[in-house]
Structure 1
Amino acid sequence: MAARLPTRRRSEDAATIKKNLSSLQILMNMGFSKHRVEKALAATGNKGVQLASDWLLSHVHDPELDQRLPREYVLYACPAGDIGVQLNDFWDRSLAQCGRNSAHNLFPHVTLCSFFKCEDSNVAHLEHALQKAVDKYQSYSPENVLLEYFDSPNYIGLFLDDKSADFMRQVCQDFAVEADKLSGTKIEPHKKQLHLTLAYQFHSSHFDVLVKLSKELDFKGPARWEFRLYSRDPRIAKAEVLRVLYSHTPRSPDELELISDDYIFMSSAEYQNSSDGWFEGTSWLTGCSGVFPGNYTEKTAESDTWTLHRVLPLTRTKSGSGQNVSPSPILAELLCGSDESRGSKYNSPEGLLTEPLYAKVHKQKKPNVVNSSEQTKKEPRKLFIMRHAERVDITFGQQWLKYCFDLSGKYTRKNLNMPRTVPQRQGGPKSFNKDSPITEIGLFQARLTGEAMRDEGITVKHVFSSSALRCVQTADAILQGIGADDSVKIRVDAGLFEWLAWSPLGIPNWMTPSDMAACGLRVDTEYKPFVTVHQLDPKEKCEQYYKRSHIFTQNVLKLCEKEGGNVLLVGHAGTLDGCSRQLTGLSYRNPTEFTKIVQKIPYCGVVTLEEIQGTGIWDLIQTPFPTLTHGPNPRFDWRILRN
């Protein structure tokens, strides 16, 4: 008789077992060591397996990944609801009007204890200790926290009423006792008068403005307050924190990769003593260190890099008073949501809705869920940057003006490659001396390029051109070749003009958009340029040219982002590098390197960049249509046959 087969485990049994496994067990079953898993869960606030695994993959090259460096924790009392919104608005307005002061290093809070260290394996005990302390005194929690305004020449803040302060101190004291009992963690509660700082260490000239702004706050009415437990990487303590604005790809082993929306922390001395604009710092996202260009970052609050572990209500609502307040979004989520749902939304100190930053290192940002009618895949935007076509003054020399215009200003074509006609413009023929039109071959070059784009199915929705006539004419001919709809207009902007060091005769007296339109060029006469002629600096340095070009390109891409579609920039030889260099994460070239690059760019030369959707990153790619090569064709003099 055959032996009976063992009972096969049902699939729902396996699912149940997986559900009951802790995040620690699941990650260890995936092959991660216990120490690394505990560190990842602590760093991400134990908000789910996905976020912790993202952190582990991001920190695979972190030299301190296997070192036992416990995180630093702190307990704050934080205002929420209306007063929280008012205080955040005050932070923004004081920063905009008076610049950064020391209060901007954190968010609005009342400090209840000094920073303390807790081993990664004991974080769950720490959270349990806080929960136990709050539960113990829940019936004694205040219905409102009263605040008293105070200012002095170097400090502006709000002091808490004695009853509320005593309650907070008692909860913190019991938290310290429970944490020591459960995990041996030592916490030192604050015994000094509790307060919420609005501004300090500010310039004396800003005092009156800060006082005026702070006295506009309405903190007399009911407000909701919360206990919040935060942690930070110990490397951030006493460090300057910078937010990454632009991506940067390392070009040498000692450089640090910059990832958009990452944070970099470094010593204050490094921030103050750099002589060349490059700093040495550590990435918050990866833990890796190296040097990086400082102009790709901006100073930000240290607390932007903190992890939120626990939120518990501090105040209780008034029963039957009609003033009941629903829990803050972050508290409601933490009370009702699952670990996985919490991990996908909340990780900022203020409890604002954010995407998990760790996911950005190895994968693109996940798109929002849309209905089936919106699920058609969108092509990534492309940015085409093009040099203008062949110009008359380079082909025929400046003497073309003398030969083609008579004393009355009448134009006569002297060569088949000269324009059939030239625009009537203010200043007469002399205006062409600094602002040349393109040749007939130039028109053909531009149309041919547009036709190549059309043949590859490329459409262009947004067109921007330098104010130079040769660039606008090139853009117009390209649109003819593409067969673009009449609604696609050319937006003329001085921000695309070439490096002014190459205009020794001064800034040209360009034609106005209205005059260009009157000559038949499809120019948008309603467009307001990002850069006007009056904003150009005739003594512009190469670095300033790169910055101008980069800022202009960023503004263009932001302006066109909502409508989508490909963007075409028509400028000069230097435009190809000036508008793409920093957009792809590279630093600007010095004048010698820049000049060598520019000399290699032909008429109608094109570079193409493609947007990596959801990342804010643009990559140089192979231009999807053939390039144009036009060999030298010297002027023919029939008289040579007479000899």
Structure 2
Amino acid sequence: MAAITPPRKISTSTRPKVSLEIITATQLLLQMGFPKNRAEKALAATGDRGVHLASDWLLAHAYDPSLDEVTPREYILYLCPTGSFLDQIQIFLKKSLEQCGWNGAHNYLPHIALSSHFSVADCNMKQVIKAFHDVIRRVQSEFPEDLILEPHITSNFMGLFVNEQQAEILKQISMEFIEECKNFSFSGDPESPKSFHLSFAYQFPGNHTATLENLVKKIDHTTPTQWEFHLYSRDAHIRSYEVHKVLFPLVPQEVTELELILGDFVYVKPESINVSPDGWVEGTSWLTGCSGFLPLNRVKRTPQTDAWTLHKSIALPQSHDLLLLEDVGVGRRPFIEVQQRLSIEHGHHIRLFSEQPNVSHPKQEDFRKLATTGNDNVVEKIHKVEKEADPSSVKGSRKLIIVRHGERMENTFDSWILDVFEDSGKYNRKDRNMPCLLPMREGGCGAYYRDGPLTQLGHLQARSLGEMMHKMDILVHHVYCSPSYRCIQTCDSILKGMGLQSLMIKIEPGLFEYLAGYQDGMPTWFTPAQFHDLGFNIDLSYAPLVVASELYDKNETIEQFYIRNAFISEKVVKATETEGGNILFVAHAATLETCTRLLVGHAPRNGFHCVSLQVPYCGVAVAEEYTAESGEGKKWRVVEPPFPPFTNSANYGFDWKLLLHERDYPSDHQTEKRASGCPGPTALMSEGKDRGADDAAAPPSTDPMGTLRRLHAIPIQVIRSRIIEQRDGDSEILRNRVFPGKLGAVGRDRSFPFG
């Protein structure tokens, strides 16, 4: 018999109310012991995205000589296009770069500038953001449904000017924002531009005029477009520098050399490139603030806006044509505020150097019709998803089985790309849990940075799942998979375990994970044909429901992510209804939630609940079709998976050299600290002392939350990795934060939803 809860003698309703004081991120950093100027600088540089990221930034910049300089960031207001119009501009920028070389327009993302750069002290960052929010909310109802853009082509400029009447509206917005910012501008008042234009090309040689003009004519400037207001800031130091992205890592051999880390940006003076006698130039790391010499053949120039911080973005009302796409989850609703980007500093619009997967896809008009009509025949005609079959050929209620991929390399081996690839690109296996072989990719070894493979354990997890399904007589008849390499490998291993190698895999980009994790660039996936050549049984005739190019819009909110995945579930369920049979989705952690949530009739969760979902590698969700008793026809419900989970523990690496020690073994804390070169908390908090001073000589700092003690033990390589991953998406940094120590042959499953 259950225990009876005794009555309360003191009513909680009569107790005095305790007001809880809200502690700001700045106050929390101060309580942790960081000086105010550093705390404010870190929050401004990371877009005020929390204490964890700010402390990571401070640790990464521990040896930055400019850390204590009072240099306010420079802010600017942009109006940016999205959607198919942006795609056209991106294609133009890529082709113009290939055919005519770099010009001034390549240095920025496509935009209409609404202000000049103006400096604001780090302590006033929140005031700038509030001014931006208040002004845009006041004037957005006056913004025209479609901007009228007029082509302007001369011998030194090509672009579009805003119609004179509409330019007055933009000027009003610009002036109101400038007036708000004058109160706290650090130096130099912001100015409104003399004209409002979107540049395609400028500062180019005269002999390229004809080529550029022909490329410009291919851009349809009348395309209905949704516009977004973006508030950016940049480090004032990079004003006159070129920004180069690291393509290949470099371990310094001399003290004057700069360490190159995949995903980092390097600031380089243009004049130093022209006078370099040996291809080495001096540069400064975006990630650490440290300077040194680097070889130019390991980096590639990228837009300067890639190294800017996006503080806030607000979308404007859509035209009628754009609203047709809203149900697909690709377009955005009118008057919604775009979710603040989870990246730190990035350039997410210009994709100059990446190739789109070579897949066929339906015309845009057909896609709109598909999204807005309930005609199942449209699905059959456009996508040819399934061939006709007798519904009686597959008996029983249908099931949708959704599986997360197996254990991935980057979660098990820190900086594995740096360890296993030689300068020539040759792969050297350094651990038995690493893949035996890795195929060469068009983007080189750097392509694995955002699209890594499974570990050997990952293959085992997937094959074990397939064998269990086979043992329990669970069949699948239709297979859809995310284009990520780890997902294709997982899907292939599951089918091998089931003995269904003959079942073809349909690659569906719409199943790819939440786009907030890819702010500075999407993965360059293998194409379906390339997967086929590698030995995977790919359905080359399948035309995806959401093509890869639709994912290059990085402004996806959690709600839109739900809608995109739900769209895939709904259309696949309808397309396979005639033939019947079970459906297998192999994708990412959050897919188990997002592909079932709307299917069973629930509303999307908010971002916090989606992020807090815990899904292990090869975790499974099952939705089952049933006939509703109320006579409403067939519905879907989530049911318990019919097979047990796969659970494993962490398997840490072993350093045999410890057996050579004559004295006691050093503690894990000491080993990690010495190996990493990570500065202690006192070094980061001291104002006047050398940041390289010994930690033991400094008095202990106040650390009520224990955060600094935890961070102190994290290798600096992990800190750097987390900051880059945060720029690529909040999912990756959270994944690394759970188990900061380096794992060995088998990594513990972090069970995080994105990835």
TM-score of the pair, normalised by structure 1? 0.51
Cα displacement (A) at 1:373: 6.5
1:145 Cα shift? Answer: 0.7
Give 1:55 shift.
Answer: 1.3
8 A contact 2:245–2:263 mirrored in 1:
yes
Give 2:348's aligned residue. Answer: 350
Give the TM-score of the pair, scaled to structure 2.
0.44
Shift of 1:208: 1.8
* Distance apart, 1:45 and its partner CA: 1.3
Residue 254, structure 1, aligned to residue 256, structure 2 = yes
In 2, Cα distance between the equivalents of 1:63 and 1:561?
50
Residue 260 of structure 1 aligns to a residue whose secondary structure is coil
- What residue identity is the alignment partner of 2:25? S
Tell me how far 1:319 sits from its aligned partner. 7.4
Deviations 1:119-167 (A, max 9, x none): 0000110111122222232332111111111111221111110122111
Residues 618-633 of structure 1 aligned to structure 2 (within 5 Å): none
Alignment partner of 2:183: what SS? Answer: helix
Partners in 1 of 2:534 and 2:336 — Cα distance? 33
Asked if structure 2 preserves the Cα contact closer than 8 Å seen for 1:79 and 1:225, the reply is: yes
For 1:172 and 1:257, locate their aligned partners in 2 and report how far apart those are by CA, in whole Å.
Answer: 41
Q: 1:139 maps to what in 2?
A: 141
1:250 Cα deviation from its structure 2 partner? 1.5
| Structure 1 alignment gaps of length 5 or more | 1-6, 354-369, 386-452, 465-557, 565-611, 617-623, 625-643
Inter-partner Cα distance in structure 1 for 2:173 and 2:88: 26
Provide the aligned length of Structure 1 versus Structure 2: 376
Contact 1:262 1:285 in 2 (8 A): yes
> Aligned pair in 2 of structure 1 residues 61, 371: CA closer, same or farther (>3 Å)?
farther
CA distance in 1, matches of 2:253, 2:235: 28
Distance of aligned partners of 1:239 and 1:149 in 2 relative to their CA distance in 1, 3 Å threshold: same
> Given that residues 148 and 160 in structure 1 are in contact (C-alpha distance below 8 angstroms), is that contact kept between their aligned partners in structure 2?
yes
Give the Cα separation in 2 of the matches to 1:563 and 1:223: 41
Equivalent residues of 1:51, 1:343 under 8 A apart? no
Q: Within the alignment, does 1:123 sit opposite 2:125 as a pair?
A: yes
SS in 2 for 1:42: helix
Distance in 1 of aligned mates of 2:54 and 2:535:
36
Equivalent in 284, 289, 292 of residue 291 of structure 2: 289
CA distance in 2, matches of 1:560, 1:251: 41
Per the alignment, do residues 561 and 115 of structure 1 end up closer, same or farther by CA in structure 2, a change over 3 Å counting? farther
Question: How far is the alpha carbon of 1:76 from its aligned partner?
Answer: 1.3
The equivalent of 2:495 in structure 1 is none
- Tell me how far apart the structure 1 counterparts of residues 88 and 102 of structure 2 sit (CA, whole Å): 18
The structure 1 residue matched to 2:215, chosen from 207, 213, 216, is 213
Shift of 1:293: 1.7
Q: Which residue of 1 aligns with 2:171?
A: 169
The C-alpha deviation readout for 1:244-295, integer Å capped at 9, x for no partner, is 1111112222211111121111222212111111111111111011112222
Q: Are 2:79 and 2:112, in contact at CA under 8 Å, matched by a contact in 1?
A: yes
1:571 match: none
The residue aligned with 1:150 is 152
Alignment of 1:394-413 (within 5 A): none
CA distance in 1, matches of 2:408, 2:215: 47
Question: What is the aligned partner in structure 1 of residue 98 from structure 2?
Answer: 96
Secondary structure at the residue paired with 2:346? Answer: coil
User: Hey, what does 1:84 align to over in structure 2?
Assistant: 86
In structure 2, stretches of 5+ residues that fail to align are 1-10, 352-400, 423-428, 441-529, 537-719, 726-744, 746-755
Q: 1:17 to 1:191 in 2, by over 3 A?
A: same
Q: Residue 41 of structure 2 aligns to a residue in which SS?
A: helix
Shift of 1:325: 6.2
Q: Does the C-alpha gap of structure 1 residues 334 and 345 become closer, same or farther in structure 2, counting only changes over 3 Å?
A: farther
Cα distance in 1 for residues equivalent to 2:141 and 2:433? 70
8 Å CA contact 1:77–1:111 kept in 2: the answer is: yes
> Alpha-carbon deviation of 1:350?
3.2
Change (3 A) 1:65 1:348: same
Q: Is the 8 A contact 2:63 2:290 kept in 1?
A: yes
- Superposed displacement of residue 214, structure 1: 0.8
Matched residue SS, 1:229: strand
| Residue 160 (structure 1) aligns with | 162
> Which residues in structure 2 correspond to 1:148-547 (within 5 Å)?
148-181=150-183, 186-313=188-315, 315-318=316-319, 335=337, 337=339, 342=340, 344-345=342-343, 347-350=345-348, 374-376=405-407, 460-461=436-437
Q: Which secondary structure does the structure 2 equivalent of 1:222 belong to?
A: coil
2:109 equivalent in structure 1: 107
Q: Is the 8 A contact 1:80 1:328 kept in 2?
A: no
CA contact (8 A) 1:311 1:331 kept: no
> Which deviates more, 323-332 or 372-381?
323-332
Letter in 2 for 1:349: G
Q: Contact 2:182 / 2:190 at 8 angstroms: preserved in 1?
A: no
CA RMSD of aligned residues (A): 4.3
CA contact (8 A) 1:231 1:308 kept: yes
Task: Compute the displacement of 1:82 (Å).
Answer: 2.1
Q: Provide the C-alpha distance between the structure 2 equivalents of 1:87 and 1:114, rounded to a whole number of angstroms.
A: 23
Maintained 8 Å contact 1:265/1:281: yes
Cα contact 1:330–1:346 (8 A) shared by 2: no
